[in-house]
Amino acid sequence: MRLISLVPTNTKINFLQFRKIAAVFSLLLCVASAGLFFTKGLNFGIDFRGGILIEVRTEGPADISKLRASLSDLGLGEVQLQEFGQASDVLIRIERQPGGEKAQLVAVEKAKKALGDEVNYRRTEFVGPKVGGELIEAGITAVVLALGAMLVYIWFRFEWQFGVGAVVALLHDVLLTIGIFALLGLEFNLSTVAAILTIAGYSINDTVVVYDRVRENLRKYKQMPLAELLNLSINGTLSRTLLTSVTTLLALSALYFFGGEVLAGFSFAMIWGVLVGTYSSIFIAVPLLVYMNLRRTGLIVGDTDDDDAAAAGKSTS
């Protein structure tokens, strides 16, 4: 009857034995990400940096050098042109103009005049210096508050050790996402922040599922060595972890390849985040518990959920 078995049932992989290699590997990646962030920096979009973005469509393939020539004489500073999705679409980025909001407005007008009426304006965006600063602030606030709120929730629902483990895994995922954006020079904008918050949610989600099993097994097997118990928990939830990752990745790939150019950056970040998140919940979040001196007694308090089938039988509705 079963058609696909993604994971052989009853896996007994010793994940914990990889914990040192995984820790070193992740640490290296985190350091590299932080290094890239501080040296190369992120390619901030106009949402944060301020500036002008114009997307135009020309009839037939766009002559980028001609468009560039008509814009370069305007004295607008750095102007980037880039093919966007297809040959007739061009994305024009103009750096933030010195001076206040008015200067940006004048620059948009100038650029549009230079491009003329032959092109079709698909998108015009400009963000003045004031709003750019506020968006940065709001973005950072949202991410910090989200991480804090999740930490508190996990702390509330589990022991503090779980909270720390989950947030370490989460920071790992967020850091690596920032790292890949710095490495590839992908535009970092508002939707990237949205992606990061969603990745945070997904990463915690993944971790919580495994942690739930750890907690359950701690109650169930009171004598089992911790490493063995953690392995058992990871293996027990492995097929769920992988299945959910696959369905999420399927949906995200559809979005990445066919959802249009505007969403491509967002979907890329999410795909990366899901991959990293799946890895980190297995290889980082759970092994971390080994080092944090889990007290088993604390987990038994208020535990009425016993393991025998009879008990399970009566709790239906």
Binding to other proteins, residues 252-291 (CB under 8 A): 252, 254-255, 257-260, 262-263, 266-267, 270
The contacts of residue 219 (CB under 8 Å, 6+ apart) are 299, 300, 303, 305
73 versus 310: smaller Cβ distance to other proteins: 310
Q: Taking the complex as a whole, how short is the minimal distance between the CB of residue 93 and other proteins, in angstroms?
A: 15
Q: Distance of CA 254 to CAs 67, 172, 243, 260, Å? A: 33, 26, 17, 10
Which residues, 147 to 176, sit near other proteins by CB under 8 A?
149-150, 153-154, 157
Q: Which of 24, 27, 183, 251 binds other proteins (CB under 8 A)?
A: 251
CB of 221 vs other proteins, minimal distance in Å: 14
Q: Does 138 bind other proteins (CB under 8 A)?
A: yes
For other proteins, the closer of residues 34 and 255 by Cβ is: 255
The answer to whether 252 and 269 have CB atoms below 8 angstroms apart is no
CA dist 234 and 19 (Å) reads 13
Residue number, 36 or 166, with CB nearest to other proteins = 166
106 binds other proteins (CB under 8 A): no
Contact call for residues 125 and 102 (beta carbons, < 8 A): no
Site string for other proteins, 228-247 (x = CB under 8 A): --------xx-xx--xx-xx
* Nearest CB to other proteins, comparing residues 293 and 316: 316
Dist. CA 300–CA 287, nearest whole Å: 21
Contacts of residue 110, defined as CB under 8 A and 6 or more positions apart, other chains included, come to 74, 76
